[in-house]
A and B are shown apart, each in its own frame.
Chain A
Amino acid sequence: MFYGLSGVRHNSYVSDSKLFPVPADRNAVVFFLLLGLAAPYLVSSLYLNSYILPWLIWTAAVLGLNLVTGWAGQLHLGYAAVMAVGAYSAVHAAKFGIPWEFALLIGGLASSVIGSLFAFAALRTKGLYLALTTLAMQFVMDWVLTHSPTIAGGSHASLQSPTFALLGQDITSDAGLYYVAFGWCVLVTIFMLNLRRTGLGRALVAVREKDFAAAILGVNSFYYKLVAFAASSFIAGVSGAILVSTFYFLAAPEQFAVNVSIQVLAMVIVGGLGSILGSYLGAALILLMPGVVNQLFSLGANLLGLDLGIETLAHIPNAAYGALIVIFLMVEPLGLGKLYANVRDYLMVWPFDQLKK
């Protein structure tokens, strides 16, 4: 139907390696990009800065975790700890007077160094053992943050983030902060899109799928797993720093605690391992659903005239939200991204349906 490759002809390898070969996909991407640019003029600043901005930053973070878990196939349960390293290093650097551009870079590099050092040790184990080792990293980081006032910011363990600025220009307006998040998310997305058509992406998938076959092609799996951890930690670090400087405005240990690590992993899995669109959808579902379900339940209770206790009202949405994740994963284990891909694949071959599996 409107998804189709009819009339698309490639006469060079450059045009054959386009990111979006299907015209309909390309149009959709341009549409959403323009929508993203125009968002401050379309959405009230309350929604812009309390929903869309964190969603975009978390999406960037989820894409980073997807690099390790979706592409390289390594379970990572300490991702929030890596984000914390970036956030704290960047805020400390900014407090020290370093411009934010470099502070973000320092945050990313600090995360990258600590993440890879840890991975260097952890990657000697595989599968569930690796998952547990990364979980250990999370606990080490939690402990460091709660036990070292110099890092965490005094006895209250809260660290005020200096005013965000780029190119010497203070950014305080809602729209300005939104554009910072939007820009970062777009950058990370472009990187991940390019990963699908370069040797690095292929090598990572090879390591994930069959490491012995990767080895015989000259792919050093230990090295490429390490590269995946380093790159993903960089993305995590900068995302953590942007999250603190444009959304939370102060850094506290509980923002990067173990439950956050689990939450990011949930975003990756619900969205779809190795899916870029899925990372957007997964982050949206996990971030926004609790609020939406909550409102639906209180609305429903009001309509039916039920007098639900405040505690029941607090707990039912949690259960519903959990059930929702289970249902999504039962319908499509490969996540929300795959749900979209199924529709797209069907439309691609319409009016036939031989691709339906």
Chain B
Amino acid sequence: MNGPVTSGSGQVPVLECIGIERRFGGLVAVSGVDLRLEKGEIFGLVGPNGSGKTTLTNAITGFYPPQKGKILLGGRDITGTAPHKVAGMGVARTFQNLALFNGMSVLDNILLGRHIHMNPGVIRTALYWWLARPQEIANREVVEEVIDFLQLESIRHEMVDGIPIGLKKRVELARALVAEPHLLILDEPMAGMNQEEKEYMARFILDARAERGVSVLLIEHHMDVIIGICDRMLALNYGEMIASGIPREVIKNPRVIEAYIGGAHAE
């Protein structure tokens, strides 16, 4: 892999989480988590179910602000900022259980990803031919580039409810990419995919970094994918950091093996 491997370079990191803690009542979902994501990096986040990966993502994107700790985006403190504002600052994400809008076409779903660049309103809609159409067309062109990039041409006018799950995941990635984010958070983009679909998705993530300059925070259970495409990674268990570093080394860590496979196999 030719991405940056070392951490702690002089550049301002794309994302920095310092001592994040999030509790739900008495349950500590995440505690004392530090994370530093450099520009152009693909950063893996792994851990067994319930280890706090999604909670950490939700803390970063503003859904569940952390009770302790700080989140810096490009050096700017965004702790506790509302999700729609975080989106406006260049963070895009996909969801573990898909969050596409049923009843809309694939194209309309992806166009929604352009929302932060469009600022739509009533006057603009009322005077469609003069105010909205030039803007709609300009944004359609950006969307078509991504449709081309992710090979979604043949289904752009299909209703999103009717397409297979592998394509739905791809549409969601397209919707996140058209926002032209600095930071892309992918929550299990390969869940439920077969080997071929996984390879496609991995290739798209690598291409997105190379061609569109995004930094990626990737949550995945497929270790082959993490080892294959991530520059660095962080493993969580019961909301705490158990290992971080270069994937090939992290997966040899006995605590990671124990958390994932179980103590008896940890030798």
Contact B84 A194, beta carbon cutoff 8 Å: no
Which residues in chain B, 104-122, are within 8 Å of chain A measured between CB atoms?
104, 108, 111-116, 118-122
Q: A24 within 8 Å of B by Cβ?
A: no
Out of A195, A206, A210, name the residue touching B125 (CB < 8 Å): A195
Interface 0/1 of B27-67, CB less than 8 Å to A: 00000000000000000000000000000000001110000
Given known pairs A194-B128, A203-B112, A203-B115, the reply for A218 and B84 (CB within 8 Å) is yes
Is B238's beta carbon under 8 Å from chain A?
Answer: no
Q: Is the CB of B140 within 8 A of A13?
A: yes
Chain-A contact segment, one of B12-20, B92-100, B191-199, B215-223: B92-100
Residues of B contacting A14 in the complex (Cβ-Cβ under 8 angstroms):
133, 137
Say yes or no: B116 contacts A200, CB within 8 Å.
Answer: no
In the complex the two chains form, what is the Cα distance from A191 to B131 in whole Å?
Answer: 13
What separation, in Å, do the CA atoms of A14 and B129 have in the docked complex?
10
Residue numbers in A under 8 Å from B120 (CB-CB): 198-200, 202-203
Q: Is A175 interfacial (CB-CB < 8 Å)?
A: no
Instruction: Give the distance to chain A from B65, nearest Cβ to Cβ, in Å.
Output: 13
* CB pair A213 B101 closer than 8 Å: yes
How large, as a class, is the contact surface on chain B?
35 or more
B126 located at the interface, meaning its Cβ lies under 8 Å from any Cβ of chain A in the complex: yes
- What is the distance, in angstroms, from B113's C-beta to the closest C-beta of chain A? 6
Chain B residue at smallest Cβ distance from A19: B128
Asked whether, in the complex, the Cβ of B102 is within 8 Å of the Cβ of A209, the reply is yes
A306-342 vs B, Cβ < 8 Å mask (1 yes, 0 no): 0000000000000000000000000000000000000
Q: Is the CB of A227 within 8 A of B121?
A: yes
Q: Which of A191, A199, A215, A221 contacts B111 (CB 8 A)?
A: A199
Q: A147: which B residues are within 8 A, CB to CB?
A: none
Asked if B179 is an interface residue, CB under 8 A from chain A, the answer is yes
- The answer to whether B101 and A199 touch across the interface, beta carbons within 8 angstroms, is no
Once the chains are docked, how many angstroms separate the CA of A206 from the CA of B179? 16
In the complex, what distance in Å separates the CA atom of A194 from the CA atom of B93? 29
Given contacts A217-B115, A218-B88, A218-B116, contact A197 B122 (CB under 8 A): no
A192 to chain B: closest residue by CB: B125
Q: Nearest residue in B to A221 (C-beta to C-beta)?
A: B84
Q: List, in ascending order, chain A residues with CB within 8 A of B121's CB.
A: 200, 227
The reply to whether A198 and B101 contact each other, CB–CB distance below 8 Å, is no
Interface string of A214-251 (1 = CB under 8 A from B): 11111111000001001100000000000000000000
- Whether A202 lies near B87 (C-beta < 8 A) is no
Task: Tell me, yes or no, whether B182 is within 8 Å of chain A by CB.
Answer: no
Residues of A within 8 A of B153 (CB): none
Within 8 Å of chain A (Cβ to Cβ): is B124?
yes
Closest residue to A200 on the B side, CB-wise? B120
Which residues of B225-240 have CB atoms within 8 Å of chain A's CB atoms? none
Question: Do residues A198 and B125 form an inter-chain contact, with CB atoms below 8 A?
Answer: yes
**In the assembled complex, which residues on chain A have CB atoms less than 8 Å from the CB atom of B69?**
none
The chain A residue sitting closest to B104, CB to CB, is A205
Whether A153 is near chain B, meaning CB under 8 Å from some CB there, is no
Judge if B145 is at the interface, Cβ distance under 8 Å: no
Cross-chain contact of A202 among B86, B112, B137 (Cβ < 8 A): B112
A183 at the interface (CB under 8 A from B): no
Cβ-based interface call for B82 (8 A): yes
Kindly state whether residue A99 has any CB partner on chain B within 8 Å: no
Given contacts A198-B136, A205-B104, A219-B84, contact A213 B122 (CB under 8 A): no
**B89 to A: closest C-beta gap in Å:** 9
Residues in B neighbouring A195, C-beta threshold 8 A = 125
B175 in contact (CB, < 8 A): yes
B88 cross-chain contacts in A, Cβ below 8 A: 218
Is the CB of A201 closer than 8 A to any CB of chain B? yes
Q: With both chains docked as a complex, state the minimum distance between the C-beta of A350 and any C-beta of chain B, in angstroms.
A: 19
- Residues of B within 8 Å of A210, CB to CB, are 99, 101
Chain A residues whose C-beta falls within 8 Å of the C-beta of B63 in the assembled complex: 212, 215
**Which chain B residues border A198 with CB–CB below 8 Å?**
120, 124-125, 128, 132, 136
Residue with the highest number of chain A CB atoms closer than 10 Å, among B88, B93, B119, B120: B120
Instruction: Determine the distance from Cα of A216 to Cα of B83 in the docked complex, in whole angstroms.
Output: 6
The answer to whether B83 touches A200 (Cβ under 8 A) is: no
CB distance from B75 to the nearest CB of A (A): 21
Tell me whether B116 and A217 are in contact (CB under 8 A). yes
Q: Is the CB of A216 within 8 A of B92?
A: yes
The complex places the Cα of A217 from the Cα of B104 at a distance, in Å, of 15
Measured CB to CB, the residues of B under 8 A from A are 61-63, 82-84, 86-88, 92-93, 95, 99-104, 108, 111-116, 118-122, 124-126, 128, 132-133, 135-137, 139-141, 144, 175, 179
List 7 additional contacts besides A17-B137, A215-B63; criterion CB under 8 Å: A13-B141, A198-B120, A199-B111, A206-B112, A212-B99, A215-B84, A218-B88
Between A and B, 7 residue pairs with Cβ closer than 8 Å are: A13-B144, A197-B136, A201-B125, A203-B120, A209-B102, A227-B122, A230-B122
